[in-house]
Structure 1
Amino acid sequence: MGAINRLYRRGRFFVRRVAMFDRERVMQFARQSAKLSKAPVWWVALDMAYCAVRYETTFENYSEWDFRILKRRERKTYMTDPKSFHLSRRLNDDAQRGIFDDKLQFAARFGDELGREWVDVREIDDAQLEAFVRRHERVISKNPGGVGGNGITMRDTAQIDDIPALRAELLETGQVLVEEVLVQHPEMARLYPGSVNSLRMVTYRDPDDEVHLLAAVLKVGNGGVIDNFSNGGMYTMLGEDGRALHAASDEEGHPFETHPITGVELTGFQVPLYDEILALVDRLARRVPDLPYIGWDIAITPERPVVIEGNHNTGVFQSKPSVSGIRRGLLPRYRAAMRF
């Protein structure tokens, strides 16, 4: 029965993917993957469809983790976005998801671990907003329900001279959460000073109250003001000591041994205050017992690590084989921790 249910789930997922089929985007991923082998693009597209059913990959997953060059036994080791989604739906309490879907709820719940001042524009007047703005050199405004770095604007407060107009704009655009911009640790700023370079730490708290770290990721901006992979950023995986295991890669699969703007070497980069980061995510995971599977975005200030946000339906991060030489995914690690 379990095998039948799995096949049904995979088939249903594939049908949904076909229904949302964007031919040009799929062919973009197929062409990108075809560069790794001598196979024609049409054959790669067929293999992408096969992997969508057999391994529950998205077309993005197929390209991001170089499925074209992986053997069957290697493909079977990869966690994928659909598998992660199924786990999130099964493990995390639907009724509690608002804590993470609404950044204002998150700020209220985890305020002592944020390390930054914030306001809800709907709850203050012009005078209070002006006092907040004048206390900080830069502020960032967010749509509380935004995802993937969307609905975010960075502002230099010296250029803000009309507070009522600013408040009206924030209310109109829905960017009602305004925060001071974190000053990051000098080592993190050395990587790339244009964005807050963060970590994605994926945790699972098991029924025995042990917190497992499933993935540790270093995200780095590259020309923009945010470090998100979908907005031009790059990432690399971290080892148990917080050191980058290999070069970083961006959404198009470009490898970066060194940062193209700052020239800082990415391979082997040591994340500062890593023991404190591990302690922080352990504390965070224990604060939401009804949501045991979470991806935490962590920033590092000169004094301590702080939490940016949590993701109850976290994306999946793994080493890219053509960049790292690592041809084994994190599915066995997830299975060992979650006992499935």
Structure 2
Amino acid sequence: MGAVHRLYRRARFFVKRVVNFDRDRVLQFARQSARLSTAPLGWVVLDMLWCSVRYETTFENYSEWDFRILRPRERKTYMTDPKSFHLSRRLNDDSRRAVFDDKLQFAERFGDELGREWIDLRQTDAAAFGAFVSRHPRIIAKNPGGVGGNGISLLDSADIDDPAATRDELITAGQVLVEEVLVQHPDMASLYPRSVNSLRVVSYLDPDGEVHVLAGVLKIGNGGVIDNFSNGGMYTMLDERGRALHAASDEEGRPFAEHPVTGVTITGFQVPLYDEVLALVDRLARTVPAMPYIGWDVAITASGPVVIEGNHNTGVFQSKPSVSGIRSGLLPRYRAAMRF
């Protein structure tokens, strides 16, 4: 029955990909992949479709992890977004997802680990908002249901002449969660000072109560005020001690051994206070045990690491072979921890 279920799941995924086929988007990823080999573009598209069935990859996965140049035995080692999604659905309790989907609920549940003051504008009058602004030189306003860095505004408190009007504007925009802006650790700021350069640490709490770190990722801003991959940022993978394994890459697949703005070397960069990061993730993973598979976004301040948010349908991060030289993925690590 297990083999039949997997075959059905893959066939259903393939049909869904065909039905939702975005020609321009597919060709974008196919062209990125075709640059890695001499294969014709049409052949690359066919290979992308084959991999979507055989390895449950998205077209983005195919391009991001250079499937074009990988052998079948290497392709089999990669965790993919569809596989991660299935695991999230199977392992995480649907009834508790709102704690992570709603940033306000998350702030209430994980308040002790946030390391920053926050307010709900719907529960805060203009005078209290004005007092909040006066306490913090910069604030960040968020839509509690926003994803991927969307629905976020960064405001300088000195530019807020009329707190009541600003409050009304933010509420109208749905940006009702307002937080003080974290001041990151000087070492993290040296990479790129305009954004908080965060970590994504993917964890799994197994039935025996052990917390497994499945992936450690360093995300770095590049040209914007947030470090998200989809907003111009880049990422590199970390080893068990928090050291960058290789150059970072962005959504276009471009490698950056040094940051293009600051010139700071990325390859080999040591994340500060990484032992404290692991201790924080261990505490976070045990807070809502009904949600054992989570990707945590962590910022590091001078006084220690703090959590930004948790993602119950965490994206997948792995080394890009053409940048790192690493031609294997993290699926074996996931399998060993989750016992599937």
TM over 0.5: yes
Task: Please say if 1:200 is aligned against 2:200.
Answer: yes
- In the alignment, which residue of structure 1 is the partner of 2:277? 277
For 1:250, the equivalent position in structure 2 comes to 250
The amino acid of 1:190's aligned partner reads S
Equivalence for 1:189: 189
Residue 179 of structure 2 is aligned to residue 169 of structure 1: no
Letter paired with 1:130: G
Report the CA distance between 1:19 and its aligned residue.
1.6
1:290 maps to amino acid: A
The amino acid across from 1:211 in the alignment is V
**Cα offset, 1:57, TM superposition:** 0.2
Q: 1 CA distance for matches of 2:261 and 2:126?
A: 39
* Pairwise CA distance, 1:25: 0.6
Aligned residue for 1:146, secondary structure, equals coil
**Identical aligned residues as a percent:** 78
Q: CA deviation at 1:105?
A: 0.2
- CA deviation profile, 1:131-165 (whole Å, cap 9, x unmatched): 00110010000000000000000001100101121
Matches for 1:197-236 after TM superposition, within 5 Å: 197-236=197-236
Residues 1:99 and 2:84 are matched in the alignment: no
Gaps of 5+ in 2: none
Partner of 1:325: 325
Question: Does structure 1 conserve the Cα–Cα contact (< 8 Å) formed by 2:127 and 2:164?
Answer: no
Q: In structure 2, how many angstroms separate the alpha carbons of the residues matched to 1:150 and 1:19?
A: 27
Q: Deviations over 1:83-117 (max 9, x none)?
A: 00000000000000000000000000000100000
Aligned-partner Cα distance in 2 for 1:49–1:325: 25
Deviation of 1:292 after TM superposition, in Å, equals 0.3
The equivalences for 1:276-295 within 5 A come to 276-295=276-295
Q: For residues 113-128 of structure 1, what are the structure 2 equivalents within 5 Å?
A: 113-128=113-128
* 1:338 maps to 2:328: no
Give the residue type in structure 1 aligned to 2:329: G
Residues of 2 paired with 1:57 and 1:64: CA distance?
A: 10
Contact 2:119–2:179 (CA<8 Å) still a contact in 1?
yes
Q: State the alpha-carbon separation in 1 of the partners of residues 259 and 150 from structure 2.
A: 24
User: How many residues of Structure 1 are paired with residues of Structure 2 in the alignment?
Assistant: 340
Partner deviation per Cα, 1:9-63 (whole Å, 9 max, x = no partner): 0110111111211100100000000000000111000000000000000000000
User: Offset of 1:265 from its aligned partner?
Assistant: 0.1
SS in 2 for 1:287: coil
The amino acid across from 1:325 in the alignment is G
Q: Name 1:154's counterpart in structure 2.
A: 154
2:247–2:258 Cα contact (<8 Å) kept: yes
- The runs of 5 or more residues in structure 1 that have no matched partner are none
Contact 2:139 2:155 in 1 (8 A): yes
Describe the SS at the equivalent of 1:53.
Answer: helix
| 1:290-338 per-position Cα deviation (integer Å, ceiling 9, x unaligned) | 0000000000000000000000000000000000000000000000000
SS class of match (2:79): coil
- For the residues of structure 2 that align with 1:89 and 1:22, how far apart are their CA atoms? 26
Per-residue CA deviations over 1:221-241 (Å, capped at 9, x if unaligned) read 000000000110000000011
For residue 53 of structure 1, what is the aligned residue in structure 2? 53
List structure 1 runs of 4+ shifted beyond 2 angstroms: none
Q: Does 1:26 align with 2:26?
A: yes
**Partner Cα separation in structure 1 for residue 257 and residue 167 of structure 2:** 43
Provide, for residues 249-301 of structure 1, a one-character-per-residue CA deviation record: whole Å limited to 9, x for no partner.
00000000000000000000000000000000000001110000000000000
Q: Could you tell me how far apart the structure 1 residues matched to 2:54 and 2:147 are?
A: 29
- What is the SS of the residue equivalent to 1:227? coil
Letter in 1 for 2:90: R
Larger mean CA deviation between 131-140 and 163-172 belongs to 163-172
Q: Could you tell me the TM-score, scaled by structure 1's length?
A: 1.00
Which residue matches 1:315? 315
